[in-house]
Each structure stands twice: as C-alpha cells, then as structure tokens.
Structure 1
Amino acid sequence: MKENALVLIVILICSILFFSGCSDSIDKSDLENKIVPKQGVWGIYKLDLENEETSLIYSSSYELEGLNVDKSNKYFVFCQKIDGNDNEHREICSLNLDGSGFRRLTNNSYWDLYPVWSPDGTKIAFLSFRDDNLDIYCMDADGSNQELVFDSGFHDADIDWENGKIAFTSNSSICLINENGTSLVQITYPPKQGQWGSANLPFGDYDPRISPDGKEIIFSRLEDDESVHGNYNFFKISINGTGKTRLTNTGYSQGLTSWSYSGERIVFVVSAINDVGKYDIYMMDSDGKNYRNVTPDYFPDDFLCRSVIFSNDDSVLFFIGQWWE
C-alpha cells in the first residue's frame, strides 16, 4: 500500500509540473502573439485590463492630446492638430467610441485644447488662447454656442468638470469655480508656488481631477527640479480645500490622473523616471496603495502612452498612443 501511495504521489507531482509547464508555455505564446496595432504616428487605443488585448480605434498622422470620454461611453472628445503642426492648428474634435463619426468642433486660428465633457454629455469645456492667456470656454456638444466661461488673468489649464464644478490649474495652484464661471475658490497653496527652478514648469500644483462622488480632488505637485521633466507626487484634498493627504513619494514625472468610475482606483502616466523617458501606464488605489506599472510587457519601447482614462465599467483603459520617430 505504501509503495502504491508513493507511486501515486510521484505521478501527481509529475502531472502538476507538466501542466504548470504547459500553462507557462501557453502564457508565453499568448504574450508573443499580442501586438500593438499601428497605422499613423498617433492613435486612440483601447486596452482590455483582463486579457491585455490592445485595439486601435482611431489613427492620425497629426498630434493628438487631451482624450476624454463622456459618461455614457458613447463619445470621445480630444484635441488634434489639423492641416499643420503649429499650436494654432490645434482643434477640438469628437468621435464615436467605435472610431466612426469624426467631427471637427472648432475651426479657427486659435490654440484650442484640453476638452472635457460636461457630466450630462451635452456640453464641452475647453481651453482657448483667444486673448492674452489660455482661458476656459464652453460649447455645445456639436461645437455651437462657444462662449467664454472664465478668465483668471493667468494661463488657465488642466480643466476637469464634475458635479456642477470645474477644477483647473491657475498660477500653479488648484482652483475651483461653478460650471457657470462664478465663485472662484483657490483650493491649494503649494510651497514655492510659481517659482521657476530647473524643471520645465514652475513649482506648484497641477492636473486636478474631481472624484466621481464630487467630494475629493487628486492633483500632482512639482516638489523638486532635479530632473528637467520635474519631480512630481500625487496628493488628495477635499473639495473644500481641507484634509490634504500625500498619496505618493516617488518623485517621478507623473500626472494626468483619471479616476475609475467606482472611485477605487487611479490611472495615470509616468512620462519619465529621473531623466529617462518612459510614458508608461501606472495605476494605484485611491489611497495611494498598490502603486504599480500596468503597461503590458509586449508594448514596444518606441510606443508612448498618453492621456489614459477608464471606461465607465472600469474594465477598459482608453489612451492616446504615439509611435516615437
């Protein structure tokens, strides 16, 4: 009996090792079969978080930036250079989620960028350089009725729209207004605000994103200038400006966060670590835990990820991809 039991144990162990080896082989083969589709230099991509499959939704030979998706998950809005590479050729465009129905929403000689959907999907806020500074404008979803919403007197940037509030960066700090442009409140007061060092931006706070429940804002703070790209960390603060909490202490060049719709996770791009360019997709829990690189291993080194956002069921990431040349 003991000998028979020993034989069975040996067979069982061999079976486990065999099938484990088969599993590893399948995983490696599956990884080798995955590719990042490529057409133009720029594209809007979809990454399935479960199987890591990547698909190309829209391709362009001109620069894309500032990707945003409406809450119904039907339409993208983004900035694209059209008919030229100067800043004045940046226009706001929209697109169906399947890549069809391209629509150019602005058509002028101004610098238009950084569009975001209103919570109900009927309007789009964006930045436009029409006078002395970048200011916050708003238009209907079809591009009509463009109007100035707010001019702080500084370059306004990094806008986000949630629960009747628009968060933005002004004078290197995080500010908040009502969606009609009233009731300006400065939310953060960063150390060395607006002072220039060796980085490509002055010290301060940038890229505010309001949580889905409208109660908190996550933002990035330029804390050091050892790297020309800037050394940033993420913080979280309540919508009324109290209870600031540090989420990271990496000092990477990181920013442009996006909340998951559940409010449990944050996705963002690390563009550089020290002076080494990356443009990888990272993720962390909303409390800063489980900070990790989620870029699939099969992504080539010359493929840069930008403007990453969640789908409304949190199963997919949409992002802008650039093939570095």
Structure 2
Amino acid sequence: MKRMILIVMLLSVFLMSSCQSLFTQDQTGDEVDVTATVTSPPTPWVTIAPFVATATPVIIPTISASDLTGRIVFQSDRDETHDIFVYDLQNSETEKITSDPAVDVFPSGDNSGQKVAFVSDRDGNPEIYLIDRISGEVARLTDNPADDVFPAISPDGKMIAFVSNRDGDDEIYLMNLDGSDVMQLTSNSFTDGFPSWSPDGEKIVYQSDRDVNYELYIMSTTGLDLVRVTSDPAADVQPSWGPDGVRIAFVSTRSEFEEIYIYNLETQNLEQMTTFKASTEMPKWSPDGHYLTFSSNYQGNRDIYVMDVEKKAMLKITDSPAEDFYSFWVP
C-alpha cells in the first residue's frame, strides 16, 4: 500500500495536491473585515522529519499533574509508523488506539471522548475514519480519490468538518458523523484549512490565504457570513475556538518563530502565549477552557505539552525520542 499521508509542518502552511470535485456549492458569502500577510505558498505534504530546535533556555513555571483531568489524544511515530495514542492525565498511562501499517494521523475527539476521527491512507489515499475508543470499531467515512484530511467533530457530536482538495484545491466541507450528506462550505481558488467549531456549533473558524497570506476567518456552518478575524503580515494559522466562545488560540509567525497566541473576539485583545523561539504547533483547548495542549520542539524533538492559560505554567506530557504532535483534549 502506497503511503500518501504526510505530516504537516507549520511553515509549509499546509496542504495538499490536486484532485477532482464532487460538491461545488458556492457559499462563500460576503467578507467583513473585522480587524488581517507572509507569503508562504502551499506545499505538498511531506514526510515528517524532526525540527532542529533553535531556542535558548526558557524558564517556565510548571503545572502539577494532579490538577489535570481528561485525556490527550495525539499522533506519534514511536512504533515506526504513525498511529493514534491516548494519554490519560489521571494515571499517566498511554493507550495506542490504532495499529496499522498505514499512516494514521490528525485525530479529533468528540465531547464524550469515545469517538475519535482521524485520517489514514490504509485504503490507498488519505481518507477520514472514525474509531470507537471503547469497542475498537473503525468505520471509513470518506471514499474519494482526493485527499480528505483535518477532521473536526462538532460540539454535539453529529457532524464533522474537514478539508478536501476534491475540487482541485483545499476547501472546507461538512458531513454527518457517519459520512453521509457531504456539503461543500468554501468554494474559491485559495487554500482553506484547519476548521475549528464554535462551542455552540453555529460557526467555524479556519485559516485561508485568500488575502495573499494566511489569516483567520469565521463563517457560518452554511458557508455564509464570512468574517475576517486577523490582519497581520505574518502567517496566522491552526485556529482552535475556545469553549467560552470568545477566545481563539492559533499559531503565528509574527514574532519570526511559530508561537501560540490567543485572540479575544470581544475585546480584540491579542496575547502571545509562548516565546520559545522554536516550532510550536496545533494548540487545542481543554474542555474547561483553562488549558491548552500543543506540540513543540523547543526542548529538542517534538513532544506534547499542556499550558495553564492564565498562569502560563506548563507541563510536558510526552518525553519520547519519537515525534509526538497534533494533540486533542477530550474528557
């Protein structure tokens, strides 16, 4: 089986090669500039390779592991192929939930922590699958010659937003949790990716290079009511909508390195959360909104971390010679 899934690194901002279209509804809506420029053309997926950290030592307060609850779902190549793992924050145990010679990546859990969507090339090209973490049952949700990637399960657990290049470039789609009723939300000649749901399930924030460089945008789940969130010469990517509905965590190169920021939609306040001067990626919120999980190579190879948003204290969750990243927090 030919491996086509490749792992996204931040500055290769992202995404895929071309294919064919099934759904071509033009629902982009009218853009409203609320606040948003790095010219970084999308590059093909590339096989994961360790970043070389360039950071200087940073003294950061630590979190007590006993304060954390829930589980961190993440991908790792620790068994010589990419699989999905779950780290239990209560007992510090790690469970491997996929085990296939193919590449299994980009996990997204539902609010129960039982269902995990992920991407695999086990059937020849990148498709979206759903695994029941309790029963181990795996269902294939998409079946298309294009690359279907970056699934995001809706807050009510009924739908999945995802990215596909089935119309020739990267667009955002919706489908039911069983893979039925696929609907195209964006339809343009640009690269749209990394969808993240608002906590009420009514809107989606995502990254797009429609204004030359990558910025963050919000649209309704019909693809209408487009709002531009960020406006900066840097690349703003990988958004994650917080459970309070107000804050959006994302990665930006506005300080030259890939660092994590939080933008407040109400106050329009922007706060830089990390200053590692290294590669820091894929922030995701804890269910209570007090923490972020993310990956970084600032201590060497890429591992999973947790940060207290208010105190900016941090805990290293994984410490492996493998590449651990693309984490997602579930109950």
TM-score where L is the length of structure 1: 0.72
What per-residue deviation string (whole Å, max 9, x for no partner) do you get for residues 276-315 of structure 1?
A: 861201111123611342324xx3x1x2212211122xxx
Partner of 1:250: 276
Deviation at 1:152, TM superposition (A): 4.5
The letter of the residue matching 1:186 is: R
Partner of 1:211: 242
- Could you say what secondary structure the match of 2:207 adopts? strand
What per-residue deviation string (whole Å, max 9, x for no partner) do you get for residues 156-187 of structure 1?
A: 01111122110100011011111221111110
Distance in 2 of aligned mates of 1:309 and 1:136: 20
Partner of 1:304: 323
Count the aligned residue pairs: 250
Partner of 1:137: 173
Deviation at 1:245, TM superposition (A): 1.4
Match 1:294 to one of 305, 317, 326: 317
Listed as ranges, the gaps of 5+ residues in structure 1 are 1-35, 193-202, 226-230, 313-325
Label 1:133 to 1:288 Cα distance change in 2 as closer, same or farther (>3 A). Answer: farther
Partner of 1:75: 115
Distance in 2 of aligned mates of 1:169 and 1:73: 26
Partner of 2:225: 183
- Could you say what secondary structure the match of 1:248 adopts? coil
Deviation at 1:239, TM superposition (A): 2.7
Please give the residue correspondences for 1:255-274 in structure 2 after superposition, counting only pairs within 5 Å: 255-270=281-296, 272-273=297-298
Partner of 1:284: 307
Deviation at 1:37, TM superposition (A): 11
Distance in 1 of aligned mates of 2:77 and 2:196: 30
Label 1:241 to 1:208 Cα distance change in 2 as closer, same or farther (>3 A). Answer: farther
Distance in 1 of aligned mates of 2:79 and 2:228: 43
Which structure has more helix as a fraction of its residues?
Answer: 1
- Could you say what secondary structure the match of 1:153 adopts? coil
What per-residue deviation string (whole Å, max 9, x for no partner) do you get for residues 101-121 of structure 1?
A: 100011110111001111111
Partner of 2:204: 166
What per-residue deviation string (whole Å, max 9, x for no partner) do you get for residues 106-143 of structure 1?
A: 11101110011111111111001012320011111111
Identity of aligned residues (%): 27
Distance in 1 of aligned mates of 2:300 and 2:140: 32
The letter of the residue matching 2:224 is: T
Label 1:189 to 1:83 Cα distance change in 2 as closer, same or farther (>3 A). Answer: same
What per-residue deviation string (whole Å, max 9, x for no partner) do you get for residues 195-236 of structure 1?
A: xxxxxxxx41011000012111011101366xxxxx211111
Label 1:295 to 1:239 Cα distance change in 2 as closer, same or farther (>3 A). Answer: same
Label 1:243 to 1:37 Cα distance change in 2 as closer, same or farther (>3 A). Answer: closer
- Given that 2:101 and 2:122 are in contact with CA atoms closer than 8 Å, whether structure 1 keeps it comes out as no
Relative contact order, higher structure (CA 8 A, sep 6+): 2
- Given that 2:154 and 2:161 are in contact with CA atoms closer than 8 Å, whether structure 1 keeps it comes out as yes
- Could you say what secondary structure the match of 1:59 adopts? coil
